[in-house]
Amino acid sequence: MDALTPPCVISKTPSDYYVSCTEDCILLISNSDMEAEVNAKFPKFESLCKKLSEELLAKERMDFDEFKTSSPEQRYLNLLEKRPDLIQRVPQHQLASYLGIQPQSLSRLRARISEKK
C-alpha cells in the first residue's frame, strides 16, 4: 500500500500536477474539516496517522535520495528487484517516464541488461 498527499494539500493551493490511476485502486478524498472531525472523535487514530506519516516521509526521503543518485540502469534494476510486478503491469512509456528516460532508451537499456544475463 502506498499513500500520496500532494504538496497542494499542505499549501492549500492548486496542484501543479495530476495523478492518473492506471489500474483499480482505493482512493480516499477528504479535506481539513473532515480530518479535524475524525481526529476529534478518534484521538488514537490521529496519533496512528501521525506515526504512519512520519514513517512514510522517512521512506520517501530515502527512496528519493537513492533515486537521484542512481543511473537510469540502476533505477531500472532497483525497480526489477523491489517491484517486478510493475514491469509487467505498467506501460513502457510510463516506466520510462518514471525512470527519467525516453521509451527508446528504456528499450535499449532492457536489451543491454538481457545481453548481460
- 56 lies in a domain? yes
Tracing cell 530515502 back to the chain, one arrives at 62
Q: What average pLDDT does the segment 20-26 reach? A: 83
Q: Indicate whether 5 belongs to any domain.
A: no
Domain assignment present for residue 15? The answer is: no
Measured between alpha carbons, how far is 97 from 29 in angstroms, rounded to an integer? 26
Question: Given pLDDT bands bounded at 50, 70 and 90, which one contains residue 48?
Answer: very high
Q: Work out the number of other CB atoms within 10 angstroms of the CB of residue 10.
A: 8
Do 75 and 114 reside in the same domain of the chain? yes
Q: Which of 3-7, 11-15, 49-53 is predicted with the least confidence, judged by mean pLDDT?
A: 3-7
Is residue 6 domain-resident? no
Residues 75, 103 within the same domain? yes
Q: Is 111 part of a structural domain of the chain? A: yes
Tell me how far apart the alpha carbons of residues 53 and 70 are, in angstroms, rounded to a whole number.
Answer: 25
Is the per-residue pLDDT at 81 higher than 80? yes
Q: Is residue 20 part of a domain?
A: no
- What is the mean pLDDT of the segment spanning 22-40? 85
The answer on 90 and 62 residing in a single domain is no
Q: Say which DSSP state 42 is in.
A: -
Question: pLDDT band at 27, cuts 50/70/90?
Answer: confident
| 84-108 pLDDT tens trace | 998 888 999 999 998 999 999 999 9
Q: Give the H or E element holding residue 41.
A: helix 32-41
Residue 10 placed within a domain? no
Predicted confidence (pLDDT) per residue in 32-44, tens digit: 888 899 999 999 9
Are 117 and 82 within one domain? yes
65 and 75 together in one domain:
no
Q: How many domains does the chain have?
A: 2
Residues near 102 by Cβ (< 8 Å), separated by ≥ 6?
96
- Over 70: is that where the pLDDT of 1 sits? no
**Range of the structural domain that residue 104 is part of:** 70-117
**Rounded to an integer, what distance in angstroms lies between the CA atom of residue 110 and that of residue 101?**
12
What's the whole-model pTM score?
0.67
Q: In terms of domains, do 52 and 35 share one? A: yes
Q: Which residue has the higher pLDDT, 58 or 8?
A: 58
